Chain A
Amino acid sequence: EIVLTQSPGTLSLSPGERATLSCRASQSVRTDSVAWYQQKPGQAPRLLIYGASSRASGIPDRFTGSASGTDFTLTISRLEPEDFAVYYCQQYGSSPPLTFGGGTKVEIK
């Protein structure tokens, strides 16, 4: 089973700052099979990025995904107030089980 490790656990930033979230896979993952989700308190997760770098429908272009080997990154170029949330990476390329990372909380500094 592929394990995804997200870092940092918590990111404290101010609105307007750049956020860089990391997700590392324990073994090789198809680079076109990693997704990122945003979850706000009391809400279901929302798909942001799939295929490591493709934005889902309606997702603003300040959200960017990238990949390098087993390392995946979600970058939020300039944090808006509504971006403070928990972010999860997920791999869906290998046979099930699908796996999620442990999450990174982006909080207001």
Chain B
Amino acid sequence: QVQVVESGGGVVQPGRSLRLSCAASGFRFSSYGMHWVRQAPGKGLEWVALISYDGSNKFYADSVKGRFTISRDNSKNTLYLQMNSLRIEDTAVYYCATPLMAFLINSPLDYWGQGTLLTVSS
């Protein structure tokens, strides 16, 4: 069955960097765009970034643009989020999510991982 498992969260100081990973299985990873969505403690959902199925197109929320980089390795069925210049307000659970429809940029999010917690604190 479809599984996406995030890893790499932890506690980091402001200004530092961290890379999150998302291991996917149970579906043709290379046919699906992939998303990162985050949720600050006690808050709502915030879309963070999207990468197209082949990695040729990347989109970011304004709040992370220029600091975060989304990438993927289709040979490893893995999605990444490189986060630089971290801020306290980046503290959140980070989810990776697969779209319902293959190849499409405009698609709802079907499968979600359980998330990985990033805490940015001095």
Contact = CB atoms under 8 A, between A and B. Distances in A.
Interface of A: 1, 33, 35, 37, 39, 43-47, 50-51, 56, 88, 90, 92-93, 95-103
By CB atoms of chain B within 10 A, which of A44, A45, A88, A102 has the most? A44
Interface residues on B, range: 20 to 34
A82 to B, nearest CB: 18
Contacts of A95: 59, 105
A33 B44 CA distance: 20
A54 to B, nearest CB: 9
B95 interface: yes
A100 B46 contact: yes
Nearest to A102: B44
A93 B105 CA distance: 9
